[in-house]
Structure formats: C-alpha cells, structure tokens
Amino acid sequence: MERFYQAQCAKDETMGESIAQALVNAGTGAIVVHVNGAFHSDYGLGTAARAAKRLPGKKVVVVSAIPVADLDHITVAKDDHALGRYLIYTLRS
C-alpha cells in the first residue's frame, strides 16, 4: 500500500508541475484546464494542491463530476460541496 501511495504522489507532483509550467508558458491572462480522475483533485488535494503550491497567488479551482442515478432527482449530499468549488452532476452509467 505504501508503494501505491508513493506512486500516486509522484503522479500528482508531475501533473502539478506540468500545470504550473503550462501556465507560465501560456503567458499573462492565460487559463489552464487540466482534466484528471477524481482521486487526483477531490477536496483540493493531490494534483490540485501540488499545482497551487507551485503557483502562489494564482487561483486553482477544482470542478468535480458526481455520478447520480437520475438527473431529474438529484440529492445533494452534505459532503458534495467539499469535493470541489464547482460540481457537475452526471448520469451514472
């Protein structure tokens, strides 16, 4: 389990570094959109935290997708808002 965690941290560090470098390379006023699995950014952790650490003073925003059984009857769980700044409810397949 420890090796899995270390591998996950290495991936998050690499993605965070790539995000920061892409923003620097893009120049003033640029926005970088990075898409990853929920495990890498939910709760502002993982890749999101690594990017924020490398981008002091810049806004890092997490958009989390939450699968639900029925889009017409969504029940927002109390923990949903902690996942990301913006939430997108999607149909569970």
Domain boundaries, the chain: 2-91
Q: What integer pLDDT is reported at residue 1 of this predicted model?
A: 84
> Cβ neighbours of residue 81 under 8 Å, at least 6 residues apart?
87
How much of the chain exceeds pLDDT 90, in percent? 95
Q: What integer pLDDT is reported at residue 81 of this predicted model?
A: 93
- Mean pLDDT, rounded, for 32-39: 95
Q: What is the four-CA torsion angle of 85, 93, 75, 60, rounded to 10 degrees?
A: 0
